[in-house]
Structure 1
Amino acid sequence: MTQTAIPYLFLRGGTSRGPYFKRADLPEDQSALSEVLMAAVGAGHPLNIDGIGGGNAVTTKVAMLSPSQRDDCDVDYFFAQVAVEKREVDYRPTCGNILVGVGPAAIEMGIVAAQDGETLVRIHAVNTGAIVAARIQTPAGKVNYAGDVAIAGVPGTAAPISLGFMETVGSVTGALLPTGQVIDMIDGIAVTCMDVAMPIMIARAEDFGLTGYETRDELDANTAFFDRIEPIRLKAGQLMGLGDVASSVTPKLTLLAKPRHGGTISARYFMPWSCHPSMAVTGAQCLAACTIVPGTVADGLAQGADADAGPLTIGIEHPSGTFDVVVDFAREGKDVSFHSAGVVRTARLLARGDVFVPQSR
């Protein structure tokens, strides 16, 4: 079978991994683009056996990079979430973990020129409009991947990549609270629908008869839970102005509980039909905001989030450890203004070369 070769880099970004492409090397038409991405990843099979995906939503993600069309940014980052067992591609969300690899990938691709020592890469997340400043270690003008920073969910250590997120409130819906309410009652369950970096429907674990400390495998095996929460998510999507979200990964889902290991809150984040093995970067920002805004479902659960202004470190406990988000904000009564959120993550270049797709795709 004749095949088409497409150049790519393969990186781990945070606790996700996937191919990074130059946008110019891929079809402009979105239907044709989806066919190419599904073929590359191997969508439609639980093991992604005919592609380079890893059989999990955190390993079927794709980054597409190009020189930014914005004067205040260096690179445009277009994200695609390719399904594992379905032949579907969702372009609605962005991914903060894959974003961690955008700076190194942009330098490796020649889109951004590396400086000696450290390189600032200003990233425009095309899917949501967010602006992110990434600082990459580049001694002698080369990306450095070795370092002593460990992140929960990834073995070993690597060089730090600091990310500063701006303009993330109302990333998709245009509002911090897209429904206009701090709490909505849907099918008898209290939920907070919030949009900071990612639209999320947030609930208390105890309201579903759970502790909130279950392992990822325990939650993924709990089909009764998914049968209960998916209809609520669909209604939340409508209330948030997202329309029919049956085939979309947004809004994501999160269950909250009191922290047990010195953090601010304990969380289980869903993608949304399986539990994240750790925590999404974008999701962590939204959950941090949820702990700060008065009257949300985090009230009575969050510990140490009652300051009137930031910067404040919010520790989110997840199945693999704790994710820290530094939030700069100001609060006056029930009104909260969010200025920025910062995280430190790591990335590593795993491979480079060509991925082959059938010419018919």
Structure 2
Amino acid sequence: MNENLKQQWENLTKEMPKLRIRDAAKHLNVSEAELLSTKIGPTVKLLNPDWASFLLNTTNLGYVMALTRNESCVHERKGVYKNLSVNGQTALAVGEDIDLRIFLQNWKYGFYVEEPKENGIMRSFQFFDSKGEAVHKIYQTEKSAIDGWEIAKTQFVDETQTFIKPTSETKTKTETNDTKEIPKFLDAWSKLEDTHDFFSLLRKFNYSREFSLVAANGKFSFKISKEKLLNLMEQVSKLEMDIMIFVGNPGMIQIHTGKIQRLEPMGPWFNVLDPEFNLHLRTDQIESVWLVDKPTKDGLVTSVEVFDNEGNLILQMFGKRKPGIPQSDLWYQLTREYVDKTEKLNPSPV
């Protein structure tokens, strides 16, 4: 344990008692996982890194709060983990409430955590990548299965594990973004049959996601201002539309499907504060917003995609849909109302 870092955190907490651990880690120039490791002992314990087995047992935790975030957005969804499956380094949780796409090759550390709160102890399982960045967290609620939590704690806490300091290497982007290939890329885009094929298309041409949208601007992608993004979300709320909101990081994508009702801007944060779903979006970190069309066997699928100033995807929004079912025409028409007026839209989804 890094006693010096532990003392620095304690001093910082005295100065700023409401500072969250992620922000404290930034202040101290360390990762969140490294800072959390200074509390390893009675209330913080390392987990056995058998992530697949852990995930397959999450249903037994009962009703919980699942949290996934990136630098600019936090996605919190309450519910029960259902329909868990693992295939090598990829896993799924496909429930009406908790809906996850999991990439286990990017999971490195796991902790069981007990934090004292005014009304008792808040328990959680927390997972981090090789850089010590948070991948996913599971919090106990008043409706959780207490026995399930105790069994999971007993089964997966591993007192023999030792914490190894995360690497500080930054992954360099390797996309070539060759402009000469744009005509071929757009032709291939026009022949997509499934939205998931878009990832393969990017890999084939070695394009970054944001570069691809710039390349397709006016054909398959159209700019939306940050202000219009928030206006769109407000209109979705007023119309009580069912939508899908994806937020992810290299180890996890978490999806909310349903309505968004209570919208609360607070400083730089734009928040959705509903009983089962919370979203916290840092609007000051939004660099670009795009409406994106992808052809599929079921017709056109339209998404709204939000990026930061490094080209990282912050979140995606879709109209509620499932494979084999066309997207809502209302979603298609509504999103187009918020495209920048300088953009030339396709007249129809055909």
**How does the TM-score come out when normalised to structure 1?**
0.26
Larger Rg: 2
Report the TM-score, using the length of structure 2 for normalisation. Answer: 0.27
